[in-house]
């Protein structure tokens, strides 16, 4: 009996879903027409020849600048045949990773099959071949079970013969938040049902901890062993853009495809992007058309310059043969090689065109349209990199955080306690997206560092303080509230402005203990800064744009900070930092960094500028120089590759009252170091050359190079 009831309910539910699926009759007509066209495979094209260009990049996002992990550019001429052999001639190929540059290969998934899927034809091989890694097609039969539809704007295209093609936008809204379903805007030509353009993204990111069906048992066991600070581990496809053009006034064939997203492991993000363009040279739909050239015929035409590399079954029924030069250097030097994906190119869509399409999807179907259930999470200790730290005020400080998420909104409460000072820290914060930005409001009672960025309370300085007894930070206690606006967490944090109201008080050194002291070192932590008592109301602005991503090409960046406050003290201060990296041949690079800052008004001592330590002045301890004015610079010469290099460097800096400046007070240091992964990890041996002369070993992250 229960089985019969369930069957009856299912028979009633499907018509209700279909009736609920369409918000207007135009949307229903578009879906029905496009579905008919999709189900009727296009076998009218017997062959085509075209040039496929591909470019991609994978970066590692860090506060100073993004590091290039891998980039690739490729061009190939494809001779596709429906019933015969498909032949690919590789024209150009270049892969660049940490180990250098080499020629790459060809991905057969980039070959367009006119009878295949039009929405995600390139991705079909990766999302449609397994029972778990599937995505419900928005135009498939019974897709109303998963989606709702609404019509949107109309796009017109004027053809060379003065005909006007009209395409109507179809909004695709998933019924539930899952990586299995798409949020999309599809432009469909109403008469033919042809897809003209598509922009889509999964309804939510793929979180391997929650979406365990996507990974096998062995990988799931390995995921359980990943440290907590590297979780969540997820993949987010932020947008996919597909465009078609009308060939011979008869066939809609691909023009371009763009994919953007990122991998996430805890607070670490790895953005990736890939772009494809198609330049069709000939298309045949005549039954008596001349056959496409075979691999042997093409190889003979090119002589000994081409060799057959691979022959395989594509889609289980067609043989695909790839030809490439015997000399890989021809591929790397070829004029057919596309520029890197971050450069404009006439073969690809412009950044403004792509941004307009993505913005259209954001407006038509915002991310918050699909409401996820409220989720809760608790982290403590090593579950997050900012929940455990060590400094001379708190000693070892452990924290715990409770998080509540709803849609893209988040509320969190963080508490921590240091074993040396036994002073509780508390922060309550809530954030939500607004016009592509993240707006965060917080109230807090916590230990703060004078650098304003929290670097002194981060992993690098904590490790140095615990292991070597070197704490470069200066600290004070802050109680107050802050409103901050910055880019969304998935984007590079190149700007930040905030309004704050704070009560600031001093904090005393709480411990002299470190592992170095435990092992017999006589070095003890210096006293902490004697901060001024201050009740302040203020604002701050930080900008940090960076230009250039290729480690083999020039790069430059600027960092600007401005702060103003009133209350017990009234002041304005500003700092500017310029950085550049210049390649000198293939094995050498030169780096230069210069910074200066000034203060006006009555600044409390915690708002002075402080020099000392690997971030500002290597070879000297924290607060080696401090004052309302400062200037510093560093120069570096590296020999090696981005993977690993040996570096010679020199630092110089001064801080104090401008009227008291004297060249004898300038602190100078020099040394030698080693850099791994383009400055991701840096180890320097520095010697101070003025005042307290001596050697210091500096270990830190995210260096200039």
State the residue for tokens 């699926």: 21
Domain boundary pick from 496, 531, 566: 531
Question: Over 60: is that where the pLDDT of 651 sits?
Answer: yes
**Tell me, what CATH number does 616's domain have?**
2.40.160.50
Is residue 488 domain-shared with residue 400, that is, in the same domain?
yes
**Confidence category of residue 126, pLDDT binned at 50, 70, 90:** low
Is residue 587 domain-shared with residue 455, that is, in the same domain?
no
Residues in the chain: 705
Mean pLDDT (whole number) for 491-507: 96
Based on the structure, what is the number of domains in the chain?
2
Inside any domain, residue 456: yes
**Greater confidence, 115 or 8?**
115
Inside any domain, residue 413: yes
Residue 437 makes CB contacts below 8 A (sequence gap 6+) with: 485, 486, 487, 488
Mean pLDDT of the residues in the chain = 88
Dig out the tokens for 227 from the structure.
Answer: 């440290």
Give CA–CA dist 480/624, Å, rounded. Answer: 30
CA 462, 468, 472, 477 torsion-angle sign: positive
**pTM of the prediction?**
0.87
Tell me if 600 sits within 8 A of 573, measured CB to CB: yes
User: What integer pLDDT is reported at residue 131 of this predicted model?
Assistant: 56
pLDDT digits (tens, 9 = 90+) for 284-328: 887 666 777 777 777 777 665 667 655 554 445 567 888 888 888
Is residue 488 domain-shared with residue 582, that is, in the same domain?
no
Is residue 527 domain-shared with residue 622, that is, in the same domain?
no
Inside any domain, residue 89: no
Inside any domain, residue 464: yes
Range of the domain at 689: 577-705
Is residue 587 domain-shared with residue 670, that is, in the same domain?
yes
Is residue 488 domain-shared with residue 605, that is, in the same domain?
no
Give CA–CA dist 342/571, Å, rounded. Answer: 41
User: What integer pLDDT is reported at residue 2 of this predicted model?
Assistant: 45
Tell me if 554 sits within 8 A of 583, measured CB to CB: yes
**Greater confidence, 241 or 222?**
241
Q: Among the listed ranges 19-28, 97-106, 389-398, 534-543, which one has the minimum average pLDDT value?
A: 97-106
């Amino acid at each position: 009996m229960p089985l019969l009831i369930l069957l009856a309910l299912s028979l009633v539910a499907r018509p209700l879903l279909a009736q609920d699926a369409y918000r207007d009759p135009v949307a229903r007509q578009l879906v029905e027409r496009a579905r008919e066209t999709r189900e009727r495979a296009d076998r009218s094209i017997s062959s085509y020849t075209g040039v496929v260009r591909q470019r991609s990049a994978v970066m590692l996002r860090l506060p100073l600048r993004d590091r290039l992990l891998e980039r690739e550019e490729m061009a190939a001429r494809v001779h596709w045949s429906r019933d015969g052999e498909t032949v690919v001639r590789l024209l150009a190929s270049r892969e660049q990773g940490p180990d250098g540059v080499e020629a790459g290969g060809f991905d057969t998934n980039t070959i367009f099959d006119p009878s295949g899927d039009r929405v995600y034809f390139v991705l079909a091989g990766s999302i449609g071949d397994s029972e778990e890694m599937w995505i419900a097609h928005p135009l498939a039969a019974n897709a109303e079970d998963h989606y709702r539809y609404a019509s949107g704007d109309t796009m017109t295209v004027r053809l060379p013969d003065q005909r006007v093609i009209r395409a109507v936008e179809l909004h695709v809204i998933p019924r539930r938040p899952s990586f299995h379903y798409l949020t999309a805007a599809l432009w469909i030509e109403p008469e033919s049902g042809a897809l003209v353009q598509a922009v889509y993204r999964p309804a939510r990111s793929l979180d391997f901890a929650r979406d365990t069906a996507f990974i096998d048992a062995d990988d799931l066991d390995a995921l359980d062993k990943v440290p907590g600070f590297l979780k969540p581990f997820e993949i987010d496809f932020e947008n996919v853009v597909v465009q078609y053009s009308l060939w011979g006034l008869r066939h809609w064939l691909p023009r371009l495809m763009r994919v953007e997203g990122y991998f996430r492991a805890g607070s670490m993000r790895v953005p990736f992007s890939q772009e494809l363009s198609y330049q069709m040279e000939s298309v045949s739909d005549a039954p008596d058309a001349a056959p496409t050239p075979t691999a042997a015929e093409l190889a003979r035409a090119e002589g000994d310059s081409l060799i057959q590399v691979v022959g395989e079954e594509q889609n289980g029924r067609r043989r695909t043969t790839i030809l490439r030069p015997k000399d890989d250097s021809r591929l790397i030097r070829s004029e057919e090689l596309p520029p890197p994906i971050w450069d404009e190119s006439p073969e690809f869509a412009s950044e403004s065109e792509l941004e307009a399409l993505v913005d259209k999807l954001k407006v038509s179907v915002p991310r918050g349209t699909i409401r996820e259930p409220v989720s809760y999470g608790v982290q403590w200790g090593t579950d997050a990199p900012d929940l455990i730290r060590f400094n001379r005020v708190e000693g070892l400080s452990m924290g715990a955080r409770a998080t509540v998420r709803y849609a893209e909104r988040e509320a969190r409460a963080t508490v921590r306690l240091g074993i040396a000072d036994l002073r509780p820290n508390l922060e309550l914060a809530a954030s939500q997206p607004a016009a592509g930005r993240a707006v965060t409001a917080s109230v807090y009672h916590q230990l703060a560092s004078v650098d304003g960025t929290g670097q002194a309370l981060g992993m690098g300085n904590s490790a140095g303080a615990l292991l070597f007894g070197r704490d470069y930070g200066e600290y004070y206690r802050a109680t107050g509230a802050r409103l901050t606006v910055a880019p969304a967490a998935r984007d590079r944090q190149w700007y930040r402005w905030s309004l704050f109201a704070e009560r600031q008080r001093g904090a005393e050194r709480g411990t002299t203990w470190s592992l170095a002291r435990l092992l017999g070192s006589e070095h003890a932590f210096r006293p902490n800064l004697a901060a001024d008592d201050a009740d302040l109301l203020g604002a701050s602005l930080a900008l940090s744009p960076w230009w250039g991503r290729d480690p083999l090409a020039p790069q430059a960046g600027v960092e600007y900070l401005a702060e103003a406050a009133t209350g017990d003290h009234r002041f304005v201060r500003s700092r500017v930092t310029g950085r550049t990296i210049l390649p000198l041949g293939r094995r050498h690079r030169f780096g230069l960094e210069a910074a200066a800052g000034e203060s006006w008004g009555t600044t409390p001592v915690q708002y002075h500028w402080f020099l000392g330590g690997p971030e500002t002045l290597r070879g000297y301890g924290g607060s080696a120089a401090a004052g309302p004015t400062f200037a510093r610079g560093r120069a570096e010469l590296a020999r090696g590759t981005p993977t690993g290099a040996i570096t010679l460097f020199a630092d110089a800096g001064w801080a104090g009252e401008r009227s008291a400046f004297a060249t004898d007070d300038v602190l100078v240091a020099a040394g030698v170091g080693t850099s791994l992964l383009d400055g991701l990890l840096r180890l320097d041996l520095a010697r101070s050359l003025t005042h307290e002369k001596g050697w210091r070993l500096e270990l830190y992250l995210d260096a200039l190079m």
